[in-house]
Structure 1
Amino acid sequence: MRLGFIGTGRMGLPMVRRLAEAGHEVRVPGRSAEKRAALAQEDVQVVTDVPGVGTGADAVLVCVYTDDQVREICLDGGLLDEMPDGSLLVVHTTGSPSTAETIAARGAPRGIHVIDSPVSGGPHDIAAGHVTLFVGGADEAVARIRPVLRSYGDPVLHVGPTGAGQRVKLINNALFAAQIGLLSEAVRLGRRLGVDEAALLGALPHGSSASRALAGVASRGSVAAFAQATSDFLRKDVDVVRKVAAELDGDLGSLDDALDALADTAGWEDAGR
């Protein structure tokens, strides 16, 4: 397929490489001479402006850092105007479901289908071709884009209509963050019982309390170290999920207490409330 790709950072660049290796024609923006020079090493076509990646594309994939950047590119930056009628727009950035839904409404008169497909995993998972994708979108649109997503995604999980991918990802990240918060409480309990944190983290992964969060914490040697190492994305996603819950006049229930425990351990001044 003819693809545009916006966001060739730590997550996006290995995606672009996998897409090119799969035989797709990939166009990416390079707005600075430095960026264009770096991208010259890749098997891609480089254009000088962001909307230009959409010209003649069968699909455009967006993998930038924040929800605000997605809105700026897709709603304010002219990308949709450059995309052909009937093309596909995939949003990999974790953000508000309402952003994906708003972009979908904007593209609907021209038959541009929006698929939200936030990622669970890291660059090493993408490079290996087995990053998890939570996909929201119409059945026909998801079926069209699935072979593209399979270039780096496995499993590719279609969880509902546009916006559903973001909802599942936010719940996933809220639960992951809450598990780290619970681990910080478990370490405090261990101290009160006279158990060293290192000994505790060496033992628990072998018991019934084992989890991916625990494995990550144990690999860093302490809850605080893991919380600090993951703060950039965890804090952003916790803020988003709390904002979305507030927009829906809901709350996170008992997850909130665990998220507060994580915020205390990570030293976040604002717990995202």
Structure 2
Amino acid sequence: MFIFPYVLFVVWCTHHSFGDLSATYPNQLNGLCSPNLGSTQCGLNAVCVINNYREGRCRCRMGMIGRNAYDCELFICRDIYQCQSFPNTVCSIQQFCVCKPGFQLDQSTQTCVNAQFPNYPIYPNNPNYPNNPNYPNYPNYPNIPNIPNPNYCTSDLQCGLNAICFNNNCQCKSGYILDERSVCVAKPCQDDYQCGANARCENYRCVCRSWYEYDHSSNECSFPTSTLILIIFASFIGLLIVVICCALFAYCCVHGTSRKR
């Protein structure tokens, strides 16, 4: 009878999953996507780009790299030559590739193109006019404004959850990637080893093992206080049952012997 409460408790626990590391993972497998559905089919930090054949292809956002646009991560550059994979870009002081001055990011292609200024006059190339008339000089447009870097930081406290401040730039911790909401989330897993202690990989998602739940403060699966209380309570009930049974057995033995006399 002492074991019975434990059996009930274990059976109940094994049919319930405590906690979830709660991350959204991409469905994109071969790089193809539908223009009508947009980037929802691509991996995190990837977009659906239409090529010259009107085919949709998933591509990492500018400045990011990944395997077949899957699991795209920020590319960290050390010098100007490491940004050659991204045309018309330079390595910024924050050590990631950005568009050169005079260029801007085209969201549809995720490439850096010539910046478009309002009312910029269009002059004919190599005009063949009599006496080659002089065209007025290009107007002096203001310099491209220095847009503040939203990821600039001086300490980890200025970065979001699961992010650190590295070289004055907020970056996701190891094992995390930036999602479409600009939030660092856990990377998809392939095996239990990638999920840490007290967690397992299930359908490419890290989930806490039975009897454990996800603790946001420590960013890991831990033994919950509520479960511990249930175990203590079950132990107390089991012990109480044993004591009552022993008392009844002793009472029956004593009174049974007395009656025989």
TM-score normalized with structure 1 length: 0.22
Kindly indicate which of the two structures has a greater share of residues assigned to strand: 2
Larger RCO: 1 or 2 (CA < 8 Å, sep 6+)? 2
Structure 1 or 2, whichever has the larger Rg, is 2
